[in-house]
Chain A
Amino acid sequence: MLAYALRRLLVAVPTLFIIVTIAFFMIRIAPGGPFDRERAIPPEIEKNILAAYDLDLPLWQQYLKYVGGVLQGDFGPSYKYRDFTVLDLIASGLPASLQLGGIAIVLAVLFGITAGTFAALSQNSRYDYLIMAGAMTGIAIPNFVMAPLLTLVFGVYLSLLPVAGWGDGALANKILPVIALALPQIAYIARLTRGSMIETLSQNYVRTARAKGLRERIVIVRHALRGALLPVVSYLGPATAQIITGSVVIETIFDFPGIGRHFVQGALNRDYTVVMGVMIFYATLIILFNLLVDLAYALLDPKVKYEQR
């Protein structure tokens, strides 16, 4: 298993390199540059600025410089926020993004699996229909609609929770963004769990467990749920990626100081280095999570093993 993990990590290096290369040239194709403003900068001053950031060099030289820097862990300065390096910005956004994404995914798993299991156990009952209707709504309403609705109701009408901002990390400020981020995931996981649970409950090994006279709770939690969770686990890899990219929208709406906002602002500002840095960070995360999911599979499903041939 260790050898498998190492092999996967090695393959990730060229993948990242290709991502860096494509991203570098793609963002340069976008019209407008980091120093195009509503009020144009006089050419002689623009020359000074471009020179200060090596942006006056031929593109291939800039590329080599950039890749050289990245290899040494230097992601360059932000062109827009001139007091910060890209790493400063990512580091400053990381706690917020991790908390937002982390809590959301935990909630999604917790509530999604509970609701899905409950629905499966009371299949075709009133509760089942209610939960599934809720889940369908959760999937159908995009979070850029859900988020403003939540702020309007809980922030403005009821004045229960802050509508935006980080609030020095206060829990109250995280509740709405976490809910907005988690809801569609809860819905999806609930549907997934329900489907696979219903399937698992009719499996022979579950019937055997019941026939042995095990208590229903043990049958469900220890036997059925374990099998039913496989599709959920394989969904969690892409879901984590989705939560990260989804948080780009949520962070913007809630004015939440995470990495996603830097990504959006960076793209709009043509802050090349910030966009590249965040992209590399996201790519690394996605590669990592996919690996973790694959490894988790081996733990849950005895049929899957990663052995050296």
Chain B
Amino acid sequence: MQTLISITRRTVLFTALAVTFALAGPAGAEKILRVANFGEPESLDPHKVSGVWTHRVLRDIFMGLTTEGQGGETIAGAAESWTVSADGTVYTFKIRDHVWSDGKPVTADDFVYSFRRILLPETAAEYASLMYPMKNAEAINTGKAAAETLGARAIDARTLEVTLRAPTPYFLTQLTHYTAWPVPKHVVEKHGDAWNKPGTIVGNGPYLLEEWVPSTHVKLVRNPKFYDAGSVKIDRVVYYPGEDRVAGQKRFRAGEVEIATDFSSDQIDWLHKNLPKETRIAPYLGIYYYPINTTKAPFNDKRIRQAMSLAINREAITNKVLKSGEIPAYSFVPPGTPNYASGPSYMQWKGISYKERLAQANKLMSEAGYGPDNPLKFTLSYNTSENHKRIAIAVAAMWKQIGVQAELFNSEVKVHYDALKSGDFQVARAGWVADYPDPQNFLFLLESKSGSSLNYGRYDNNEFNSLMDKAGVTSDLDARAMLMAKAEAQAMEDQPVIPIYYYVSKNLVSQRIVGWVDNARDSHPVRFLDLK
């Protein structure tokens, strides 16, 4: 017995000692930024990834022809300058005199190689369609044309010419996206699929990969060969992938991370009270909406869709349910989206009071044959999440006032989107965050042409489609914006989707961080940050 007790005593003593040592870590002058990133990168190959959390990590390792500035604006990156042909379809880039992290120069040929690589069907790049504005890109990606036919050629080592299939006003911004980043031809050809492992991976960005332990961290260290290395202040960056928002918030409170790139909305009251300076909320180019399956009766009746939209009190949702500064949405394209001088096109009834809206909605419902005696019953689906649930409950309660009985149905995210894709739903929750800041990146979700598998509600309106087609080949920005605004107005009249609110970005940022600028792209490249 005493032996057992003395063993126990020794164990406790040893544990206490070990804890003391473990907690007393070494202190250094090195500046280390630790980020709760809420997602594991799928890969460190920019051609094989998706997701904003991966973008954050890769942005430190690679740099496109253009890149994101301190406030998310598009600035010169690997290209120091460029010219655009009069018809807006030919871009000529002057590649900056800079090198890969192994010292080899970055050339125009690297870009041609990379653009072809992401489009090859065998690369199996999820996001290859973002490159479709380039001439022949779609044909190459679908196996109908050879990679050599792509509208990209190296005129010399430092001059790159890119030909587009139609003028694309957002093209320069799109080049900041990882799909358009260069991979080092000489390394990829030498190591094949293993080129992006620690030790072999080579980039042209401000940081280098030091270590990647899946589910644990990605560690980056300053790239001394980065063209602007002198102005990079943070020595090391550590990204933690854990997806639990509450755990991330705890780590932030405990000082274990300097940035948490999201927080749970139900924490908002506590955060406003206790961490008002650290809680950063900013408008974000994204829309939270309910697509309606327009192919299924009675939702093929426009009046029903309009009534359902009218009856949603968006202000109540943003102010009482969410409370994190989200903005009530009365259009599909968020306001402030660039290249949209004449938009967004709001729903016509935006200005009238909620009471009048309800009266209008009730009128529409009774015209369509529904009312208190004959209530409209359907299922509202959402993917499992506390916020989606709270919103769905609120919306269902609002719909009761117009005689709608919505049954709530939740499923995990994969199941939910599988159902949306196959049209197996009535009314559902969906969301969209812009890949590039342009109205087209929202409105294309409602196009019915083949390939738009994101048009969950199967909206098919000839007027809308032809306006979008016209906009696609119009190079004059104002005329193009006008066409898209008309298309959006049509969609808001038809209401195949019910916009509910525009997203905001939510970050927890330590007061030690210098250089953080809130912006609509939620883009905060580490190379512009500092720690005090």
Contact = CB atoms under 8 A, between A and B. Distances in A.
Interface of A: 30-33, 35-45, 47-49, 51-53, 80-84, 88-89, 92-93, 107, 110-111, 113-114, 117-118, 121, 151-152, 155-156, 159-166, 170-173, 175, 216-217, 220-221, 252-255, 257-258, 261-262, 265, 268-270
B22 A172 contact: yes
B254 A255 contact: no
A255 B240 contact: yes
A114 B4 contact: yes
Given A84-B214, A92-B215, A221-B1, A48 B124 contact: yes
Contacts of A88: 214
Contacts of A35: 126
B417 A48 contact: no
A258 B215 CA distance: 8
Given A37-B50, A84-B214, 6 more contacts: A49-B126, A83-B197, A161-B19, A170-B22, A252-B244, A262-B214
A223 B445 CA distance: 76
Nearest to B21: A171
Interface in B146-204: 196-197
What is the interface residue range for chain B against chain A?
35 or more
Interface stretch (B263-271, B363-371, B407-415, B518-526): B407-415
Contact of A82 (B43, B121, B412): B43
B277 to A, nearest CB: 19
Interface string B250-269: 11011010000000000000
Among A160, A255, A269, chain B packs the most CB atoms within 10 A around the CB of: A255
B416 to A, nearest CB: 8
Nearest to B132: A42
Contacts of A84: 214
B260 to A, nearest CB: 12
Given A44-B141, A110-B7, A155 B454 contact: no
A179 to B, nearest CB: 10
Contact of A270 (B8, B414, B420, B452): B414
Contact of A92 (B4, B214, B450): B214
A167 B413 CA distance: 30
Contacts of A171: 18-19, 21-22
A252 B246 CA distance: 12
30 contacts: A30-B415, A31-B411, A31-B418, A32-B415, A37-B417, A39-B50, A40-B453, A40-B454, A44-B141, A44-B142, A45-B141, A48-B123, A52-B124, A81-B43, A83-B42, A83-B212, A88-B214, A110-B8, A113-B4, A117-B4, A163-B247, A163-B256, A164-B244, A165-B251, A166-B217, A170-B22, A172-B19, A172-B22, A221-B1, A221-B3
Contacts of B197: 83
Contacts of A53: 124
Nearest to A114: B4
B7 A42 contact: no
